[in-house]
A and B are shown apart, each in its own frame.
Chain A
Amino acid sequence: MAMKTAYSEHKDEKAAAAEIADTLNFKVPTAVLFFASSAYDPQAIAKAVGDALPMTTTLGCTTAGELVDRRMLSGSLVACGLYDDDLEACQASLIADPADEQARRKAFAAIASAADDPLAPDPSRHVGIVLQDGMLGTEEAMMNTLSSISNVPFVGGSAGDDRAFEHTHVFLNGQAMEGGAVLLMLRPKRPFAILKTQSFDVQDRVLTATEVDEASRTVIAFDGKPAAEAYADALGVAVSDLEENFMRHPLGLVMADGEPYVRSPQQLRGSDVVFYCQVKQGVRMNVLSSRDIVADTRRDLERSIAELGSCSGIINFHCILRTVELLAKGQSEAYGDLFSGYPTLGFSTYGESYIGHINQTSTMLILG
């Protein structure tokens, strides 16, 4: 059976939850993943969804825009149901303090109880979903723990708040939490794939981070020069024009096969460059140049689905910066059309999760 999607544009939390439950509850879902605009009261929407689906594990987070099937929405509630036809097992856990390594390990151990071998879940049969507070800055620590203790791949995103950048929430079973994280372990009955797609050419120009403040995600110097000056030189622009080039020219950690892991600059602070993710001391990053998001996503999505052989649903963690670019270029509808025919759920994130905390991607779980 295909993953089932639903959405509501009701402004009232109970009415919105009732509308999605009406669609999803034709049989009791094993799990419902839901993404809610920050326009809803977070406690009220979490409780309403939990009350409307009392026999189901319900989890989700707030957003900077919602995606459902072909639609890119704002101010809405979107959800998908996963059923016992699709899943052999699933287990969720809420982390109140993601900065605490023991709390992260304990949560992983809790969800690993759903695995065939809880001490060593088979990464070909299990996949994790991770939803994190988008304002706390603990995503790297979380992903480092998950990627260090297990080979199970986790995908997910950082919760948004419609670009207010003040308060974000995660949800589990009727509870909303600011500053928390939710983990979900799935053992799907059919094969699955993870797609991380970004739309950048890798340029030859390289910047080495020679002085950083990891905790504040700040680069103070590249190649021994003030970061802003070195970055502007690499792009061939004046420092005064640097910020307007950030979205089109982020930096990338480039793998041996040429795949970049994008590190997106957020703002200048004096001569420092503040990023949306941590930059480690000494790393070499290539300058990237943006390409067409719709064309690249189409190519990568078609390839992934062809390799998988079928697609019963897609969960798409889509960077807010890509949403902003699609809107600016009038390409939102064309992007949505890429998912035509596939039940799709997603949201515009404050960062995506896959192996680490990454930027300017669409990172998707594709269910076969």
Chain B
Amino acid sequence: MAGKVHELIEELVKLRSAGSGSDHFLRAHLMLNGIDPNEFDEASADDPDVVAQLQKMIDDFKRKG
């Protein structure tokens, strides 16, 4: 499988932008968690740990407090 990480990053960007989040905020948040958004595109191999980490970020933001 490839491209899942890129897909989840795009989903997170879309989700947080809808809540008026800044692009810089999210990208820095990802970088500080060891995920460089610029390193992933549609052809990037899926790292299961990164996929799980991104899925948790999406779930956390949807769940809020």
Give the B-binding residues of A (Cβ under 8 A).
105-106, 108-109, 112, 118-120, 122-124, 140, 143-145, 147-151, 153, 253, 255-257, 261, 280-284, 355-357
Contact = CB atoms under 8 A, between A and B. Distances in A.
Nearest to A124: B20
A109 B60 CA distance: 13
B25 A147 contact: yes
B34 interface: yes
20 contacts: A108-B65, A123-B22, A143-B32, A147-B25, A148-B60, A150-B64, A151-B16, A151-B19, A253-B31, A255-B24, A255-B28, A255-B31, A256-B38, A261-B31, A280-B32, A283-B36, A355-B25, A355-B29, A356-B32, A356-B33
A281 B50 CA distance: 12
A119 B36 contact: no
Q: Which of A148, A255, A283, A357 has the most CB of B within 10 A?
A: A148
Interface string B32-51: 11101010000000000000
Contact of B34 (A148, A282, A355): A282
A225 B61 CA distance: 38
Nearest to B57: A148
Contacts of B56: 148
Nearest to A254: B31
Contact of A112 (B29, B32, B34, B65): B65
Q: Which of A140, A255, A284 has the most CB of B within 10 A?
A: A255
A105 B24 contact: no
Given A256-B38, A355-B25, A149 B32 contact: no
A108 to B, nearest CB: 5
Q: Which of A118, A119, A280 has the most CB of B within 10 A?
A: A280
B26 to A, nearest CB: 8
Contacts of A357: 32
A151 B34 contact: no
A151 B20 contact: yes
Contact of A261 (B21, B28, B57, B64): B28
